């Protein structure tokens, strides 16, 4: 009986050890994650949630994003150095229209060259001061059939421009100027008349665009406003300029003949309305093409003629176009254009001009 009891106890102990070993073998090899071990028990729960759906951008949002890119590009294209100089050479051909009996009243056939130098200084990103001065030399046909070389200094112009920003792409430049009456020439002596005619030729070759530069014995006052639009490679511009030329000297050798009467006006008035477009078709190096147009209207000429025979006066309107091409190589920006009139007195007198321009930035 005792042996049987001992055997039962031994079997019970052996079976309990076997069960314990089996339990250890089925247990997980890795410890259970706890908060102390850095594992978040809710991680699995979070991962089971669906990722948020990304909505595509609307057309309005895409347009606003593109507008910001274009605005930054327009600002970059308008950037320039604070100080700059320029040189301009205008080669003129034809005959300068004169006051007199009819539309065909002109000076002798002339080939001229006008050298103009100038510069600007930006006092601020919106305000600029500048100056320019022309000088013309040319071969002028004389009444006796010969040719004579004549030189004539033009008017020194001092100017300012204030630019109002309308939006990232458009600006409104307001400009004004005052001329120093340095233009050479007179009306009543032979040498002075030649210089007056040479300045008239320079005015004609430029398409009547800048009367403030070539008025003999005139103090010009200039005021104008424009519009400038820049977006990507396209540039649009328009402007209206009014020039009043105040007489500061000079007199006519006569005021009347068999054809009519002549009057040297106290104020000469010309208005120039211009519009242009430019497109940059190559970025490196920068190459562009442009077309400028303007309409010059002269309600009051420096010398007014009234026909004694009742003849109609010549037209006071002149339309002109100038195609141009240009480039930019670092700090230097050259361009070339050809000025030719359509209709009007300049077309009748075959006046035109080849313009070479170059800007130098510092």
Indicate the CATH number for domain 67-361.
2.40.160.40
Chain segment 312-358, per-residue pLDDT in tens: 888 999 999 999 999 999 899 999 999 999 999 999 999 999 999 99
Q: What is the pLDDT of residue 74?
A: 74
Inter-residue contact 125 to 148 (CB < 8 Å)? no
Q: What is the pLDDT of residue 35?
A: 47
Higher pLDDT: 90 or 57? It is 90
Average pLDDT over residues 17-45: 51
pLDDT higher than 50, residue 165: yes
Inter-residue contact 171 to 127 (CB < 8 Å)? no
Q: What is the pLDDT of residue 66?
A: 74
Query: Where are the chain's structural domains?
Result: 67-361
Residue 38 to residue 176: CA distance in whole angstroms? 75
Residue 83 to residue 230: CA distance in whole angstroms? 22
pLDDT higher than 60, residue 64: yes
Higher pLDDT: 127 or 30? It is 127
pLDDT higher than 80, residue 13: no
Higher pLDDT: 11 or 341? It is 341
Average pLDDT over residues 57-63: 77
Residue 113 to residue 355: CA distance in whole angstroms? 10
Chain segment 215-247, per-residue pLDDT in tens: 999 999 999 999 999 998 999 999 999 999 999
Q: What is the pLDDT of residue 259?
A: 87
Chain segment 66-112, per-residue pLDDT in tens: 777 877 777 777 777 899 999 999 999 999 999 876 667 888 999 99
> What is the percent of the chain with per-residue pLDDT over 90, rounded to a whole number?
67
pLDDT higher than 70, residue 150: yes
**Which residues make Cβ contacts (< 8 Å) with residue 279, sequence separation at least 6?**
233, 234, 235, 288, 289, 290
Average pLDDT over residues 197-207: 97
Residue 174 CA from chain centroid, whole number:
14
- 319-337 burial, b at 16+ Cβ within 10 Å, e below that, comes to bbbbebebebeeeebebeb
Q: Where are the beta strands (DSSP E) in the chain?
A: 83-94, 110-124, 127-141, 147-153, 156-165, 170-180, 218-231, 234-247, 256-257, 260-264, 267-282, 286-300, 303-307, 317-328, 332-342, 352-361
Query: Which of 131-135, 174-178, 217-221, 304-308 is the least confident region?
Result: 304-308
Bridge-based pairing state of the strands 234-247 and 218-231: antiparallel
Compute the mean pLDDT over every residue in the chain, rounded to the nearest whole number: 87
Residue 207 to residue 346: CA distance in whole angstroms? 8
Positive or negative CA dihedral for 175, 176, 182, 183?
Answer: positive
Average pLDDT over residues 143-156: 93
Query: Which of 58-67, 150-159, 212-221 is the least confident region?
Result: 58-67
Q: What is the pLDDT of residue 145?
A: 85
């Amino acid at each position: 009986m005792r042996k049987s009891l001992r055997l039962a106890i031994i079997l019970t102990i052996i079976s309990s050890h076997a069960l314990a070993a089996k339990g250890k073998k089925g247990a997980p090899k890795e410890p259970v994650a706890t908060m102390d071990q850095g594992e978040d028990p809710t991680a699995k729960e979070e991962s089971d949630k669906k990722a948020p759906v990304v909505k595509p951008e609307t057309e309005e949002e895409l347009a606003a994003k593109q507008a910001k890119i274009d605005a930054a590009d327009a600002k970059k294209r308008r950037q320039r150095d604070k100080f700059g100089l320029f040189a301009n050479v205008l080669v003129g051909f034809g005959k300068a229209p004169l006051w007199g009996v009819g539309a065909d009243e002109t000076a002798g056939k002339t080939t001229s060259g006008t050298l103009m130098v100038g510069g600007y200084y930006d006092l601020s990103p919106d305000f600029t001061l500048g100056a320019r001065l022309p000088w013309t030399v040319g071969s002028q046909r004389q009444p006796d059939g010969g040719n004579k070389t004549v030189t004539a200094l033009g008017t020194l112009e001092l100017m300012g421009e204030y630019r109002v920003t309308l939006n990232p792409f458009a600006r409104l430049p307001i400009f004004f100027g005052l001329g120093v009456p340095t233009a050479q020439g007179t009306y009543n002596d032979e040498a002075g008349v030649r210089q007056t005619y040479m300045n008239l030729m320079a005015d004609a070759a430029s398409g009547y665009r800048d009367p403030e530069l070539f008025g003999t014995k005139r103090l010009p006052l200039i005021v104008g406003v424009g519009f400038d639009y820049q977006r990507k490679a396209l540039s649009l511009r328009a402007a209206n300029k009014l020039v009043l030329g105040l007489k500061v000297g000079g007199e006519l050798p006569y005021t009347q003949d068999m054809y009519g009467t002549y009057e040297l006006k106290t104020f000469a008035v010309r208005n120039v309305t211009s519009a242009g477009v430019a497109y940059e078709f190559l970025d490196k190096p920068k190459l562009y093409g442009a077309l400028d147009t303007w309409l010059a209207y002269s309600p009051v000429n420096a010398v007014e003629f009234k026909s004694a025979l009742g003849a109609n006066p010549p037209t006071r309107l002149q339309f002109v176009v100038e195609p141009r091409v240009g480039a930019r190589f670092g700090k230097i920006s050259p361009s070339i254009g050809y000025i030719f009139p359509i209709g009007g007195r300049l077309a009748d007198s075959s006046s035109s001009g080849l313009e070479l321009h170059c800007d130098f930035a510092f």
